Structure 1
Amino acid sequence: MQNSADPARIVIGDDHPLYREGLAQLAASMFPSASVESFGTLQEVFDHALCGEAPQLFLLDIMFPGMEISISLPELRRRFPFASILLVSMLDDPAIVSLALRSGADGFVNKAADRERCIRSIRAVLDGEYVIEEGQSSPTSFQLPAGSQLTLTARQRAVLDLLEGGASNKVIARELDISHLTVRLHVSSLLRLLGVTRRQDVIGKARLLGLAAMQDQPRQRLRNGSPDSAQ
């Protein structure tokens, strides 16, 4: 039985046929009910992804034909705002990985990572996590530039408040009367804004920045309505 949060359509982009086939087999084994499509160029990815139901998951080589990180990823994110975008590559230059993540990707996995790490990373980004798996090393995070100012929407603040209370994505969706995919998008955006890779690190970082309520302050819990209806 397919979980409601599982992707119905997955698009893979990699110019190496063997690795592309391996990713497709991995995705199909994880999500038997999903449509899994694979292509060798970014143009093919766009051409096919724009037809039919929007993909919920993209697995893309960070450096393959047509990919210009600072241009291609923002465009992909603009066209598919609710999709999870996980990058895979043997290249793990921190500057390039950081640029890719800032440009709209939800995570990066080195091709040296084993099957279980890949599976864990895919499930994490689908749940709104922000993942960086650099080969055999531990997951890392990147920092916001010095002096960066964070501004959260009312909806992001509501999600942050519920995260502080330990709410799962399912609970957040029920409390705010929004879809699971919308929750995933908001959690992912909070991880990106705060420069952390795990949802359990969100509150600590938010408190350091003065964004989260202190423990002795009452928290507002919202249900079927919020001060900002924007998604």
Structure 2
Amino acid sequence: MRRVFVVAASPVVRAGLSAVVASSSKLTVVGSASDLDALTTEFEQLQPDVVLLDVSGNFQELVWELLSSQQQQDPVAMIVLADVDSIDFQAALRAGVRGILPSTSTESEIVAAVEAIALGLVVLHSDTIESLLALKESSMRQKETANPMQALTPREIEVLNMLGSGLGNKAIAKRLNISDHTVKFHVSSIFQKLGVSTRTEAVAVGVRLGLIML
């Protein structure tokens, strides 16, 4: 039997989550509380395998602080959120969270997640994964927009400028004293980094980013 401690500010939610956990033959609820102070106080006695938390509103910030400050060995927690878009994923993972589910999860999803985490697995709901991917893509776009000049190497910028002058591969190779194959490699890299497929598009993007002065 895996031992679970339930934390939720609402007594109704606490009772509901406890009942969900107790419905599994592999899990047993060893205690519940409205905050993590009780868990910190009773941890040695209760020794739960999983801490199941309902996080909402300002309580979320308190959870990260308390989890990060705990001295227990590898506390395991699953966070149930009303809105996964509002979670600070980095703070959660640093605090020792090993599972993140939206509050709309079904009873079977919650039970399966608790059982999986008790076995040492990490559990992320599909909604959470989509939010993480969106966050990563947004961060990448911000970095690219913040400093597009770093996207191309100095040699690639030089080749791009020659493309803007209308030079072909052989002329570029001769002017730079490199092989045709090397020029093709640079052009291909430029296309990939700028997200284009033709020389005309590459030149247009280069002008827009200030890489080319026509």
- Supply the distance in 1 between the matched residues of 2:77 and 2:59 (Cα, whole angstroms): 17
Percent sequence identity over matched residues?
Answer: 19
Q: CA deviation at 1:128?
A: 1.7
Q: What is residue 60 of structure 1 aligned with on the other side?
A: 53
Equivalent in 63, 69, 87 of residue 79 of structure 2: 87
Are 1:27 and 2:38 counterparts?
Answer: no
Q: Structure 1 pair 23/80, CA: closer, same or farther in 2 (3 Å)?
A: farther
Note if contact 1:16-1:40 (Cα within 8 Å) is conserved in structure 2: yes
Q: TM-score with structure 2 length normalisation?
A: 0.52
Unaligned 5+ segments in structure 1 are: 1-5, 147-231
Please tell me the residue identity of whatever aligns with 1:115.
Answer: E
Which SS does the other structure have where 1:93 is aligned? helix
Please tell me the residue identity of whatever aligns with 1:20.
Answer: R
Q: CA deviation at 1:70?
A: 3.9
Equivalent in 116, 119, 122 of residue 114 of structure 2: 122
Q: What is residue 113 of structure 1 aligned with on the other side?
A: 105
Which SS does the other structure have where 1:68 is aligned? helix
Unaligned 5+ segments in structure 2 are: 141-214
Please tell me the residue identity of whatever aligns with 2:114.
Answer: I
Equivalent in 42, 45, 69 of residue 48 of structure 1: 42
Task: Write the deviation string for residues 28-71 of structure 1: whole angstroms up to 9, x where unpaired.
Answer: 11146734311112212222224x14111100123475952442
Please tell me the residue identity of whatever aligns with 1:123.
Answer: E
- Supply the distance in 1 between the matched residues of 2:27 and 2:117 (Cα, whole angstroms): 19
Q: CA deviation at 1:96?
A: 1.7
- Supply the distance in 2 between the matched residues of 1:119 and 1:66 (Cα, whole angstroms): 22
Note if contact 2:18-2:29 (Cα within 8 Å) is conserved in structure 1: no
Q: What is residue 204 of structure 2 aligned with on the other side?
A: none
Task: Write the deviation string for residues 79-132 of structure 1: whole angstroms up to 9, x where unpaired.
Answer: 142x42111121312552342123211111111111122122112211222112
Note if contact 1:42-1:65 (Cα within 8 Å) is conserved in structure 2: no
Note if contact 1:42-1:67 (Cα within 8 Å) is conserved in structure 2: no
Which SS does the other structure have where 2:97 is aligned? coil
Q: What is residue 8 of structure 2 aligned with on the other side?
A: 14
Q: Structure 1 pair 138/45, CA: closer, same or farther in 2 (3 Å)?
A: closer
Q: Which has the larger radius of gyration?
A: 2
Most deviating of 18-27 and 116-125: 116-125
Are 1:104 and 2:96 counterparts?
Answer: yes
- Supply the distance in 2 between the matched residues of 1:126 and 1:73 (Cα, whole angstroms): 17
Please tell me the residue identity of whatever aligns with 2:85.
Answer: D
Q: CA deviation at 1:74?
A: 1.8
Please tell me the residue identity of whatever aligns with 1:26.
Answer: V
Note if contact 1:54-1:80 (Cα within 8 Å) is conserved in structure 2: no
Note if contact 2:36-2:63 (Cα within 8 Å) is conserved in structure 1: no
What CA RMSD, in Å, does the superposition of the two structures yield over aligned residues? 2.9
- Supply the distance in 1 between the matched residues of 2:129 and 2:109 (Cα, whole angstroms): 10
Please tell me the residue identity of whatever aligns with 2:47.
Answer: A
Which SS does the other structure have where 2:31 is aligned? strand
How many residues align? The count is 134
Which SS does the other structure have where 1:109 is aligned? strand
